[in-house]
Amino acid sequence: AQSVTQLDSHVSVSEGTPVLLRCNYSSSYSPSLFWYVQHPNKGLQLLLKYTSAATLVKGINGFEAEFKKSETSFHLTKPSAHMSDAAEYFCVVSDLSGGSNYKLTFGKGTLLTVNP
Amino acid sequence: DTGVSQDPRHKITKRGQNVTFRCDPISEHNRLYWYRQTLGQGPEFLTYFQNEAQLEKSRLLSDRFSAERPKGSFSTLEIQRTEQGDSAMYLCASSRQRLGMETQYFGPGTRLLVL
């Protein structure tokens, strides 16, 4: 079975400071990992994905995440927060334990607040 | 790329009524998924289609729920005899079958409120 734990339900940063959103996963197989972002009244948008290639994954809008198998972590970072980054962020895992790699398991989300 | 669309965007209904939601996937995508998202939670998988075949249903999907994808294009999700606990955001996603991990693209969702 696969699962995801987002360690912070709410993170607040000042504009221009670094962002760190933490995620730990559990998976029986080699997982694929994703970060999605959800702005109010908008659909989920893919930020980045890890699929067993490079462990450091770069995404859109300056975000990146590092896959650390020994720590079962996939933390999301950005060097400098922008006001437009304020949104809900979801860490997502998918693996082959169900016989197919199609089903996504979401964390509970981290609400990012960016203060001026 | 027109993206995944869902209709309606909002639905308010009274307990006991039936509701139906529609999802139009990205045109070349043969896989379609439904998820449900309640307040303060991440989306949870409900069901999955490959072309017109419904290949898996979650235990979350009670007998009051039914989903179809008759021609392998758009899909409908029907909830019969709605209950207040059905109030949630219903999300549709689509992907194109490929080797390795696919990327699921999500629609804006249908927000259901059962009074």
* Paired sense of beta strands B65-68 and B53-57, if any: unpaired
pLDDT in tens, B63-103: 999 999 998 899 999 999 999 999 999 999 999 877 666 88
Tokens coding B84: 């207040």
pLDDT in tens, B22-72: 999 999 899 999 999 998 899 999 999 999 998 888 888 889 999 999 988
Return the amino acid letter for B74: F
CB atoms within 10 A of CB A79: 11
**What's the N-to-C CA distance of chain A in angstroms?**
41
- State the pLDDT at residue A108: 95
**Cβ contacts from A onto B, under 8 A:** 58
- State the pLDDT at residue B97: 77
pLDDT in tens, A52-107: 778 899 999 999 999 998 999 999 999 999 999 999 999 999 866 555 557 889 99
CA distance A61 to chain B (A): 18
- State the pLDDT at residue A98: 55
Does the beta-carbon distance from B31 to A106 stay under 8 Å? Answer: no
CB atoms within 10 A of CB B26: 17
Measured distance CA(B71)–CA(A63) in Å, rounded: 39
For A49, the closest of B3, B48, B103 (CB atoms) is: B103
pLDDT at residue A46 is higher than 70: yes
b/e map A91-100, b = 16+ CB within 10 Å: bbbbbbebee
Three-class SS state of B25: coil
% of chain A residues with pLDDT over 90: 72
pLDDT in tens, A8-45: 999 999 999 999 999 999 987 778 899 999 998 788 99
Tokens coding A84: 């437009």
pLDDT at residue B1 is higher than 80: no
Interface test with B, best of A104, A105, A110, A111 (most B CBs within 10 A): A104
